[in-house]
């Protein structure tokens, strides 16, 4: 398995039929603010609703620092046809020791239901198993977030269990559903 440092040294751009997964740029702040300031989008995310564009600018600066350090950092999801940046996807955790990664994603509300997250997630699964050579890939979502669960299921991940009241947001506890796929699962699908 490639180490995190080896993988992020390359800082590649990936493309699917409709999307480009690329590094964030300073001028993505407006697009990022569009989804990070939307309470419907932020509802099941670990970060609070952004109140100012400066919060998006600050986060992008943090991401750019991560690129320089060659550590975990998200890709911007861009629609190839329009050049519009609509969200982010990344390996939110990476374990060289256990040969596994966890994927997280977010997308602007106006692009929900168009299959973009499913497509971007499919590409990250391919990268994880074919380029990085992980043994296991996981993802999780709030149990009530069935749209996110559907993305995981469409991409062949298996429901592996629930952790009760393990996510706290806006003065409420949520159960989390955990999904996973191991190397044999992936190669049996392709």
Cβ burial, residue 40 (10 Å; 0-12/13-18/19+): exposed
| Structural domain count, the chain | 1
Looking at residue 9, what is its pLDDT? 84
Q: What is the mean pLDDT of residues 163-190?
A: 96
- Residue 108 — pLDDT band, cuts 50, 70, 90? very high
The Cβ of residue 164 has, within 10 Å, a number of other Cβ atoms equal to 9
Angle at which helix 116-126 crosses helix 146-154, to 10 degrees, equals: 50
Q: Hunting for tokens 């996973």 — which residue is that? A: 180
Q: Do 4 and 69 contact (CB within 8 A), yes or no? A: no
pTM of the model: 0.95
- Residue 5 — pLDDT band, cuts 50, 70, 90? confident
Residue 114 belongs to what domain range?
A: 4-189
The CATH number linked to 40 is 3.40.630.30
Q: What is the mean pLDDT of residues 96-122?
A: 98
pLDDT tens digit sequence for 125-174:
999 999 999 999 999 999 999 999 999 999 999 999 999 999 999 999 99
11 pLDDT higher than 90: no
Looking at residue 183, what is its pLDDT? 98
> Is residue 63 within a helix (H) or strand (E), and if so which, with residue range?
helix 53-69
111 pLDDT higher than 90: yes
10 pLDDT higher than 90: no
Strands of the chain (E only): list them: 14-15, 19-22, 75-79, 85-95, 100-107, 136-142, 158-169, 172-182
Angle at which helix 29-36 crosses helix 53-69, to 10 degrees, equals: 120
């Amino acid at each position: 398995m490639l180490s995190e440092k080896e993988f992020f040294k390359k800082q590649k751009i990936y493309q699917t039929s409709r999307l480009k997964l690329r590094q964030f740029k300073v001028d993505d702040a407006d697009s990022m603010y569009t989804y990070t300031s939307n309470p419907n989008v932020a509802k099941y995310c670990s970060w609070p609703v952004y109140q100012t564009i400066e919060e998006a600018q600050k986060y992008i600066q943090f991401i750019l620092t991560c690129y320089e350090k060659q550590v975990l950092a998200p890709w911007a999801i861009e629609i190839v046809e329009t050049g519009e940046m609509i969200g982010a996807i990344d390996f939110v955790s990476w374990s060289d020791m256990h040969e596994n990664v966890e994927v997280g994603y977010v997308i602007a509300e106006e692009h929900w239901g168009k299959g973009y997250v499913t497509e971007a997630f499919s590409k990250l699964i391919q990268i994880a198993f074919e380029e990085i050579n992980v043994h296991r890939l996981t993802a999780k979502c709030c149990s009530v977030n069935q749209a996110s669960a559907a993305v995981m299921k469409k991409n062949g991940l298996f429901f592996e269990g629930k952790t009760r009241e393990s996510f706290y947001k806006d003065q409420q506890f949520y159960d989390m559903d955990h999904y996973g796929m191991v190397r044999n699962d992936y190669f049996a699908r392709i």
